[in-house]
Amino acid sequence: MYLGDFKEPVGEWLRGEGSEADLVISSRVRLARNLTDVPFTSVANDRQRAEVADRIQDSLDTLRPGLSLKTQHLEELNAVEKLVLVERHLISRELEMASGPRVVAHDETESFSLMGNEEDHLRLQVVKSGYRLEEAWQQMDQLEKAIDSELQFAFDKKFGYLTACPTNVGTGLRASVMLHLPAMTITGKIEEVNRAATKLHLAIRGLFGEGTEAQGDFFQISNQRTLGQTEEKILQDIAEVLPKILSYERTLRGKLFEQRKEWIEDRIGRAFGTLSHARIIQSKEALDHLSLVRLGVSMGILQDLTMDQVNRMFLFSQPGHLQAIDGQELSALERDLKRAELLRKILAE
Amino acid sequence: MLCEKCQQNEATVHLTDVANQVKQEYHLCSECARVHGVSVPAQFQKFKSFTLPDFFTHQSQESDTEQAESPPENCPRCKMSYSKFRRDGKFGCSHDFTVFRSTLEDLFKKIHNSSQHIGRTPSCFRKENSHRIQLDGLREELKRAVQGEQYEKAAEIRDQMRLMGRN
C-alpha cells in the first residue's frame, strides 16, 4: 500500500503554498462524469461496475506516460488504508463505505485524483494548496479533455453532463475552497457568513465535505448550482465572494488581537500547552487545539512553531494516519495515546 | 418541439404529406414513428397508398400500442420510475433524462434556476452533433424532392441517409 514518506505530508493540499495560505488551506475543483451505456453506480450490478472500472483503467493506460497515475482497487484495501485515503482527501467517505468494485487513482503529488464508481462513474478532482482555484481549473481542463478523448461521457444538449444526482447535472462542477476561520467561530459570526453564502447560492460545509460537520474551524465553501452557468462563471462567483470572507476573518482576528489580546493569547497558550504535554487526547480535542495553534502561528503569537509542523500534526494525528504510521490497527484508547505521543514529538522539534 | 402523438418526447421525425394538392405536416418522436410504421423508407414505399389522417384517428386494440400512446412512466433501460427517483434522489441511467424530460425541466429550474446547459461539451457530442446537422439537412432536401415529385433524387437522398445512419 502506497503511503508515501511520513516525514513530510505528501499531500499537495497541506503544502501551505499559494496565496492567502494561512486562511485558505486549499482550492479544489471536482467534475462528475458518467459513461453513456452503463447504468449509474447505485443501479449497476457488480459486473457492470467492474466493467466501468476496467474502462476507466484502460483509458488511463492509454494516456500514459503523459498522465501517470497510481490506481488502487478499494475492495482490496483494509479499513486503515481506506481511512488514510479519506484523510488525504483522495476519496470521499461515500466511496470508503461503499462495497463492490471501486477505484481511486492519483498522481504522485496527490494534486490530481479520480474516483471510479462513487455516486457517478467518474469523479475527477484537482487540489491546490492556498487560494489557487483558477490554476486548479486550468489543470482540470487539460486532464478532463484527455480523459474525454478516451471515454464516451453521458451528455444531453439541454441538460448537459448527466449525473446520478440532479444537483450535479450540467457542468458537473463543484468548485470549493477550504478555509480556516477560527476568529469567525470564536466571535460567533459563522452563522452570518452561512446565511450570506446561502443567499449567493454557495454552500458551506465541514472538513470532509458533504454531510460533515465543521471540525477544527475548517469550512468548505462551494457552488450549489451546476446547471445554466459556464464553468468559468462558477469560479468567478466564488472569486468575488472569497475576498470579502477573508477580509472579514482578518478584521475579526485583528480585533481579537487588539481588544482581547490577553484572552486570545491565553487560549492559544493553553491549546499549545495541552498539545505539548497531554498523554491521552481524542481527535476532536486535538483538532480544536490545533485550530488555535494554527491561529497562533498565523498571528505570530507562537513564534517557534512553523506552519509545516502544524500541517503535519493535523494530518498525522487523524485516526487512519495514526494507525498507518504505527503499522497496525489500534483501539480507541491506543489511538488516543499514540496521538498525544505524536503531537508531543512534532512540537518538540 | 414535442411529438404530436405522445406529447412527451422531442419530435425528430418530420413528415410532410402532399396528397391531392393538400399539404400536411406531422411531427413525431422516433418511438411513436417506429410504433406506427412511419419512417423515411416506409414512407417512400407506401407513398401512393398511405394516408396519414388514419394514423391519428386509428384506435389500436393492441395493448402495446396503447402503452406507446400514454406517456412512459418507467425508464425502459433501467426500470427507474419517477417516483423512485424522487424518493432516492438519484437517477438510474442516462436514458432517464429522456424519459422524464418535461418533468425534469421544472425540477432543474427549481434546483439550479435553469434547465439549459451552457458550459463545455464532450468531444463525442461535438462529433455526433455535426453528423446530426448533416442528417437534418438531408431530411429537408428529401422533403423538398418528394414535394417536387423528383422521386429519383429523393431515392438517392434516402440511400445517402441510410448510409449515414449506419455509421
| A289 and A313 fall within a common domain | yes
| A85 and A166 fall within a common domain | yes
**What confidence score (pLDDT) does residue B124 get?**
85
Chain B, residues 102-121, CB within 8 A of chain A, namely 104, 107-108, 111-121
- Whether residue A212 is predicted with pLDDT greater than 70 in this model: the reply is no
What is the DSSP secondary structure assignment for residue B115, as one 8-state letter?
S
| A265 and A241 fall within a common domain | no
A252 located within any domain: no
**What confidence score (pLDDT) does residue A91 get?**
93
Q: Could you give the CA distance from residue A160 to residue B21 in angstroms, rounded to a whole number?
A: 43
**What confidence score (pLDDT) does residue B64 get?**
42
**What confidence score (pLDDT) does residue B47 get?**
43
- Whether residue A139 is predicted with pLDDT greater than 60 in this model: the reply is yes
Helix axes A319-326, A332-347, angle to 10 degrees: 80
Asked which of A99-108, A162-171, B23-32 is least confident by mean pLDDT, the reply is B23-32
Chain A, residues 129-168, CB within 8 A of chain B, namely 145, 148-149, 152-167
Name the residue among B89, B92, B115 with its Cβ closest to that of A39.
B92
Residues A165, A167, A169, A172: what is their CA dihedral angle, to the nearest 10 degrees? -100
Question: What tens digit of pLDDT does each residue of A23-32 get?
Answer: 999 999 999 9
**Interchain pair A225, B107: CB under 8 A:** no
**Interchain pair B77, A157: CB under 8 A:** no
Residues in A touching B95 (Cβ below 8 Å): none
A67 located within any domain: yes
**Interchain pair A225, B104: CB under 8 A:** no
* Greatest Cα-to-Cα distance within chain B, rounded to the nearest angstrom: 55
| A226 and A309 fall within a common domain | no
- Bridge partners (DSSP) listed for residue A29: A126, A175
A321 located within any domain: yes
| A91 and A178 fall within a common domain | yes
What residue of A is the nearest CA neighbor of B80? A43
Structural domain total, chain A: 2
Residue A335: burial class (beta carbons within 10 Å; 0-12, 13-18, 19+):
buried
Among residues of chain A, what percentage have pLDDT more than 90?
Answer: 74
Q: Does B55 touch chain A (CB under 8 A)?
A: no
- Mean of pLDDT values over A160-189: 94
User: A51 vs chain B: nearest CA distance in angstroms?
Assistant: 15
Asked which of A212-216, A256-260, A342-346, B153-157 is least confident by mean pLDDT, the reply is A212-216
**Interchain pair B97, A228: CB under 8 A:** no
**Interchain pair A159, B115: CB under 8 A:** yes
Asked which of A43-57, A207-221, B71-85 is least confident by mean pLDDT, the reply is A207-221
The mean predicted confidence, pLDDT, of chain A is 90
Question: What tens digit of pLDDT does each residue of A110-119 get?
Answer: 899 999 999 9
Residue with cell 481511486: A104
**Interchain pair A162, B122: CB under 8 A:** no
Residues in B touching A229 (Cβ below 8 Å): 114, 118-119
- Whether residue A4 is predicted with pLDDT greater than 60 in this model: the reply is no
**Interchain pair A149, B123: CB under 8 A:** yes
Question: Which amino acid belongs to residue A83?
Answer: L
Q: Please, what sign has the CA dihedral across residues B75, B78, B81, B83?
A: negative
Q: Which domain holds residue A280?
A: 260-347
**What confidence score (pLDDT) does residue A310 get?**
92
- Mean of pLDDT values over A19-41: 93
**In a structure prediction context, what are the per-residue pLDDT tens digits for chain B, which is 167 residues long?**
778 877 778 788 777 766 666 677 777 887 777 766 665 555 544 443 434 444 444 433 333 443 333 445 899 999 999 989 999 999 999 999 999 999 999 999 999 999 999 999 999 888 777 777 678 788 888 998 899 898 998 998 899 888 877 65
| A214 and A307 fall within a common domain | no
- Quick one: cell of A188? 460567533
Q: Could you give the CA distance from residue A218 to residue A208 in angstroms, rounded to a whole number?
A: 9
**What confidence score (pLDDT) does residue A174 get?**
96
| A236 and A196 fall within a common domain | yes
Question: What tens digit of pLDDT does each residue of A227-262 get?
Answer: 999 999 999 999 999 999 999 999 999 999 999 999
Q: Does B1 touch chain A (CB under 8 A)?
A: no
A228 located within any domain: yes
What residue of A is the nearest CA neighbor of B108? A166
Picking from A135, A114, A103, the residue whose alpha carbon sits closest to that of residue A67 is A114
Q: Does B122 touch chain A (CB under 8 A)?
A: yes
**Interchain pair A152, B124: CB under 8 A:** yes
SS3 B150: coil
- Whether residue A1 is predicted with pLDDT greater than 80 in this model: the reply is no
- Quick one: cell of A102? 471501486
Question: What tens digit of pLDDT does each residue of A304-334 get?
Answer: 999 889 988 998 999 999 999 999 999 999 9
A255 located within any domain: no
A119 located within any domain: yes
| A63 and A202 fall within a common domain | yes
**What confidence score (pLDDT) does residue A109 get?**
87
- Quick one: cell of A326? 504505527
Domain boundary among A222, A246, A270: A246
Q: Does A211 touch chain B (CB under 8 A)?
A: no
| A305 and A194 fall within a common domain | no
Domain boundary among A246, A280, A305: A246
Name the residue among B107, B114, B122 with its Cβ closest to that of A228.
B114
Q: What is the CA radius of gyration of chain B?
A: 19
**What confidence score (pLDDT) does residue A213 get?**
64
pTM of the complete model: 0.75
A237 located within any domain: yes
**Interchain pair B123, A164: CB under 8 A:** no
Q: Does B93 touch chain A (CB under 8 A)?
A: yes
Q: Does B92 touch chain A (CB under 8 A)?
A: yes
Residues in A touching B136 (Cβ below 8 Å): none
Reply yes or no: is the peptide bond before residue A65 cis, omega within 30 of 0: yes
| A236 and A267 fall within a common domain | no
**What confidence score (pLDDT) does residue A46 get?**
93
Tell me, what CATH number does A175's domain have? 3.30.590.10
**What confidence score (pLDDT) does residue A329 get?**
92
Name the residue among A155, A164, A229 with its Cβ closest to that of B125.
A155
| A40 and A157 fall within a common domain | yes
Picking from B128, B76, B125, B72, the residue whose alpha carbon sits closest to that of residue B103 is B72
**Interchain pair A166, B111: CB under 8 A:** yes
Question: Which amino acid belongs to residue B55?
Answer: F
CA distances from B93 to A121, A133, B71, B85, B165 (A): 11, 31, 19, 11, 24
Alpha carbon distance, N-terminus to C-terminus of chain B: 26
A254 located within any domain: no
| A268 and A175 fall within a common domain | no
**Interchain pair A160, B119: CB under 8 A:** yes
Preferred mutation among A157, A199, A223, A230 to probe B, highest tally of B CBs within 10 A: A157
Chain A, residues 102-121, CB within 8 A of chain B, namely 119
Chain B, residues 125-144, CB within 8 A of chain A, namely 125, 129
Q: Does B164 touch chain A (CB under 8 A)?
A: no
Domain boundary among A246, A280, A311: A246
Question: What is the CB neighbour count within 10 angstroms for residue A50?
Answer: 16
